[in-house]
């Protein structure tokens, strides 16, 4: 999608700090980190919201989660714990309408979230 900032990151039209890439998934550091580790993990296919994914596309999310698991291992986040967040829609504060998982680690997190 031409006006999607994450598609532009995927196409390298906008620079980002990439930490993982394969044919289906990209992971890069959040430009405005909310924790010492704040990585965005996204499918390369443009889908606006998680709930817009059709059933045939669900295996993409397994691939995204596989990358999250790899990053948890690489960044040694498992022992202390970490958080994975998806914001969807206005009430949840979704700002970029290209499916993305926030992987947050390196500090304690409160519950319930704000």
Contact set with Zn ion (CB under 5 A)? 1, 4, 6-7, 46, 98
Contacts of 74 (CB under 8 A, 6+ apart): none
The size of the chain, in residues, is: 114
SS3 42: strand
Residue 98 is among the residues annotated as catalytic for this protein: no
Q: Which one, 38 or 98, has the nearer CB to Zn ion?
A: 98
> Of Zn ion, ligand AMP, none, which one does residue 1 interact with (CB within 5 to 8 Å by kind)?
Zn ion
Q: Which residues bind ligand AMP (CB under 6 A)?
A: 5, 14, 16, 28, 30-32, 40, 87, 93-96
Contact of residue 62 among ligand AMP, Zn ion, none (CB under 5-8 Å per partner type):
none
Contacts of 29 (CB under 8 A, 6+ apart): 16, 17, 19, 38, 39, 40
As annotated, the active-site residues are: 100
């Amino acid at each position: 999608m031409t006006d999607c900032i994450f598609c532009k990151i995927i196409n390298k039209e906008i620079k980002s700090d990439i930490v993982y890439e394969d044919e289906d998934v990209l992971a890069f550091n959040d430009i405005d980190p909310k924790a010492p580790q704040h990585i965005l993990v996204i499918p390369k296919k443009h889908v606006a919201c998680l709930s817009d994914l059709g059933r045939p596309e669900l295996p993409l999310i397994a691939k995204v989660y596989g990358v999250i698991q790899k990053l948890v291992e690489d960044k040694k986040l498992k022992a202390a714990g970490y958080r994975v967040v998806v914001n969807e829609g206005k009430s949840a504060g979704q700002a970029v309408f290209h499916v993305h998982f926030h992987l947050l680690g390196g500090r304690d997190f409160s519950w319930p979230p704000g």
